[in-house]
Structures are given as C-alpha cells and as structure tokens.
C-alpha cells in the first residue's frame, strides 16, 4: 500500500487533474487515440490505454509497450445570470446579478506499461491515470454572489491499476485489475450573515479553507469477443470508490469583528468528508471494413451513489453538514471512426452525447453541470517502434437553468449558466 500511495502522491503533485467534462466530475480523457474516436474504445482497446477502457484488449498487443501522455484542458469560465440570496436580503432576493468563474488551464495525465507473452495468451501491466476530478473557482471570495456556498473547490484523484488479461481462445479474452486511488480535496467558502453587515466585510463571517486527502480501493474487469475477423464486442466494468477525506486541515481567516469571539478558536479544527464515487460500465461494438473502423459505445455512470456530501468538523464552532445531491444514473452515447490512410498514418473523429446526472433541485455553484455535446478529431502516426497520437476535443455545454434558491438557508440560486471548454491530448508509445 505504501508503494501505491507514494506513486499516487507524487503524480498528484506533478499534475493538476482537477476539472469536469464527462457526466458529473468523471474524466474519460485517459488516452489520446481513444479521445480522437469519441472514447468509443471499449471494443477496439488496441493500445496500452486498454488498461482503462477494457483490460481484455491487452491480449491484442505485442511485446512490451510504454505509453505516456497528457491532456491539456482549457476550461472557459462559466457565466451565470440570475438571483442568489447573498447581498440581496433588503430587496426580497430578486435582484438579477452576474457571476463568472475563473478560466482554468489544467492537465490530466496518463501512463501505462504492458507486456504480452510470446504466445499471446497472457498480458499484464499497470496503468496510472486520473478518473475523477473537479475544479471550480470564483474571482473574489469576498464579493462572489456564491461565496457562502463555495469560492473554490479542487478535487484531484490518481489511480494506480495493476492489470492482467487472458486470451481464452481465438474468440474470447478477459481481463481484471485492482485499483488503488489517492485523492486530495480543497474546499473554500465564506459564510455570510446579513446581520454582520454593519461590522464590515459585506456581512462575511470569515474565510474557511478545508484541505485534506484520503485513499480507497476498487477493482475492474473487462471482456472482449471476436465472433468474426471484422467484428469485436467489448464490455468493461469499474467498481465504485468510497473516498474518505479524513482529518483535513481547517483554516479560518478574515474573521468579521462582529462575529462571536469563539469563532477564532476554530483554527486547528480537523474536517472530514466522504465522496461516494460511482461505478461505471461500458458496452461497445467495433466493425472494420478495409481501412475504416467504426465504433459505438453505450457508457453507464452510476451516479446514484452520490446521494449526499457529508462534511464533519471536530470543533462545534463549525457546523456539520450533509448536503443532498441525489444524482441519477446516466448513459453517455459515443461514436468513433478511424481511417488508416497509410500503414503509418491514421485519421480519427468522434462524437459524444453526455447527459448530466445533477437534478435541478440540488445543483450547486460547485458544479453547475449540464448536458454536453463533445466533438473530437485525432491523428496517429507510427515511426518505427514509436507511435504518436494527438487529439482535439470541443465540449459544447448546453445552457442550464435552475430554480432552487432557498432564502431561509441562504443557499441555491434562480438563474441560467452558460459555458464551454476545449482539450488537446498527446500520447507517445514505444514498443519493444
């Protein structure tokens, strides 16, 4: 366990894997070839990223392979127009306001090693990737209209995934793996109380920061069928994780002069949170006609496990909470194509319909999620033992309106969000 945690901690420090593109805060960006094909890769799974997309596909590889890469993300700040309870108690909470999230430049890493025996019946390896991440930040934690709910949230996860696959016969291959997850989370907010406005700081009570980490274990398995030379059918399951962020450091600063003196004693408090990260299941089909391959996947994310977000503190000065989320299970539909122009050159394209799991009633400013349409293109090129894969992706996030403002608890909002993002992926593979 110490070895896995050391590897995961180092990678979290080297890379910032904190954003949100697929349903909720799932990150399928674990291979540039798959990205270029709309992540419809469950039945193809013919490069080292099969460890993530379908471990049974490892039996298709030859010799030893090392693959490393990264996805660059430009997350354009979402824009909000509507009402919130903060700064508006004197006018009946009806003043229309605007807010813009910070635009963020982020990176999602991946690395894989695989080896296939000379007879092709056993393959094994290890993958390192970031399957979940969430990052949002607002411009000013002292004036944001969402500051009492969140001013910054940053969830980073890294999984180390040893894997083995077996070719049962010419038709059937199976694969299985163990997953160790390390996660790090930061939450910042500025509680607000209109009774403190005469004391200054716009009624802000104090600034709060919770910074902690934790780990969890899971597993995965996959199946690959080749009923004919041109047809492949694949399935891949990844288990849920229960990520416990335990005894995180809590920092209180900028305390309002009108706040009770006891607030200052909250420094040194420990905070904990539990994240129930969902299981996933993908079913895919791949068909090859000469130089052209066409793939289609249905991809389930079982977000119903994310029913609430419990936060607990060791000091009674800070109130525990258990915000309801009540997310729903969703199915993304993925299409991808690959055309092998020449032996070394391949061109790719993909499309994804990705529905949001977040109901309007519980949607919050930490993740104002919406249905998405993803458009991808990609190129692969082989140079001897080397393969270079690049991909580009545009995320068209649909406008999302919610009316869940609660003036009694000073939470929620009534308004509309807009936003989009784009990505670029690069992987380099060496075969030996």
Query: What does the pLDDT read at residue 16?
Result: 42
Mean pLDDT for 75-92 is: 82
- pLDDT winner (highest mean) among 5-14, 36-45, 199-208, 357-366: 36-45
Q: In this predicted structure, which of 29-43, 155-169, 346-360, 398-412 has the lowest mean pLDDT?
A: 398-412
Percent of the chain with pLDDT over 90: 65
Please check the confidence at residue 20 and state whether its pLDDT lies above 70.
no
Query: What does the pLDDT read at residue 23?
Result: 58
> Which option is the CATH number for 2-431: 3.40.50.720, 2.40.160.60, 1.20.1050.40, 2.60.40.10?
2.40.160.60
Over residues 314-334, the pLDDT tens digits come to 988 888 888 889 999 999 999
| Angular region, 92: left φ>0, alpha ψ -120 to 50, beta rest | left
Taking the model in full, what pTM does it have?
A: 0.90
- pLDDT winner (highest mean) among 22-31, 99-108, 170-179: 170-179
β 133-137/122-129 pair status? unpaired
Closest to 84 measured CA to CA, from 141, 137, 144, 135: 144
Q: Where is pLDDT greater, at 62 or 8?
A: 62
Residues 6+ apart with CB under 8 A from 91: none
Closest to 224 measured CA to CA, from 37, 57, 336: 57
DSSP 94: -
β 172-189/133-137 pair status? unpaired
Q: Say how many CA atoms lie within 13 Å of 6 toward its Cβ.
A: 3
Over residues 241-277, the pLDDT tens digits come to 999 988 899 999 988 888 888 887 888 889 998 899 9
Query: What does the pLDDT read at residue 3?
Result: 45
Query: What does the pLDDT read at residue 7?
Result: 41
Contact 233, 54 (CB under 8 A): no
Please check the confidence at residue 79 and state whether its pLDDT lies above 70.
yes
Identify the band that residue 303 occupies on the pLDDT scale cut at 50, 70 and 90: very high
Identify the band that residue 19 occupies on the pLDDT scale cut at 50, 70 and 90: very low
Q: In this predicted structure, which of 211-225, 248-262, 283-297, 298-312 has the lowest mean pLDDT?
A: 248-262
Task: Quickly list DSSP for 315-335.
Answer: STTSPPEEEE-----EEEEEE
Query: What does the pLDDT read at residue 5?
Result: 47
Mean pLDDT for 163-174 is: 97
Identify the band that residue 384 occupies on the pLDDT scale cut at 50, 70 and 90: very high
DSSP 26: B
Where do we find the tokens 């003036």?
407
Identify the band that residue 199 occupies on the pLDDT scale cut at 50, 70 and 90: low
Please check the confidence at residue 11 and state whether its pLDDT lies above 50.
no
Query: What does the pLDDT read at residue 12?
Result: 45
Over residues 131-168, the pLDDT tens digits come to 998 888 888 888 899 998 889 988 889 999 999 999 99
Give the C-alpha separation, 353 to 423, whole Å: 17
The domain limits of the chain are 2-431
Residue 261: helix, strand or coil by DSSP? helix
């Amino acid at each position: 366990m110490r070895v896995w945690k050391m590897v995961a901690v180092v990678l979290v420090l080297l890379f910032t894997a904190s954003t949100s593109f697929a349903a909720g805060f799932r990150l399928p960006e674990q291979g540039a070839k798959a990205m270029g094909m709309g992540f419809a890769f469950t039945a193809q799974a013919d490069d080292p990223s099969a460890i993530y997309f379908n471990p049974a596909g490892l039996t298709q590889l030859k010799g030893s392979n090392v693959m490393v890469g990264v996805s660059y993300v430009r997350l354009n700040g979402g824009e909000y127009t509507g009402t919130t309870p903060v700064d508006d108690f004197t006018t009946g909470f009806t003043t229309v306001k605007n807010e813009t999230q910070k635009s963020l430049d982020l990176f999602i890493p991946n690395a894989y090693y695989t080896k296939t025996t000379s007879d092709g019946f056993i393959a094994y390896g290890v993958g390192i990737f970031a399957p979940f991440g969430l990052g949002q930040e607002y411009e000013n934690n002292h004036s944001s209209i969402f500051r009492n709910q969140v001013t910054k949230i940053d969830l980073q996860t890294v999984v180390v995934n040893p894997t083995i696959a077996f070719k049962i016969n010419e038709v059937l291959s199976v694969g299985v793996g163990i997953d160790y997850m390390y996660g790090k989370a930061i939450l910042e907010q500025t509680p607000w109380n209109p009774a403190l406005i005469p004391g200054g700081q716009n009624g802000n009570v104090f600034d709060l920061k919770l910074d902690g980490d934790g780990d969890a274990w899971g597993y995965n398995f996959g199946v690959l069928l080749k009923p004919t030379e041109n047809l492949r059918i694949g399935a891949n399951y990844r288990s849920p994780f229960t990520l416990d962020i335990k005894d995180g450091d809590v920092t209180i600063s900028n305390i309002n002069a009108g706040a009770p003196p006891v607030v200052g004693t909250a420094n040194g408090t420990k905070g904990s949170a539990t994240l129930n990260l969902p299981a996933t299941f993908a079913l895919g089909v791949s068909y090859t006609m000469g130089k052209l391959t066409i793939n289609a996947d249905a991809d389930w994310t079982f977000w119903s496990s994310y029913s609430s977000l419990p936060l607990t503190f060791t000091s009674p000065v800070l109130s525990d909470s258990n915000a309801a989320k009540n997310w729903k299970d969703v199915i993304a539909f993925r299409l991808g194509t690959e055309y092998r122009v020449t032996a070394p050159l391949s061109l790719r394209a993909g499309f994804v319909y990705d529905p949001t799991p977040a109901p309007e009633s519980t949607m919050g400013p930490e993740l104002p999620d919406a249905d998405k349409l993803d458009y991808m293109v990609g190129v692969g090129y082989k140079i001897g033992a080397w393969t270079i894969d690049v991909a580009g992706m545009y995320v068209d996030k649909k406008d999302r309106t919610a009316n869940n403002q609660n003036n009694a608890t000073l939470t929620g909002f009534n308004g509309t969000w807009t936003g989009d993002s784009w990505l670029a992926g690069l992987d380099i593979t060496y075969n030996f």
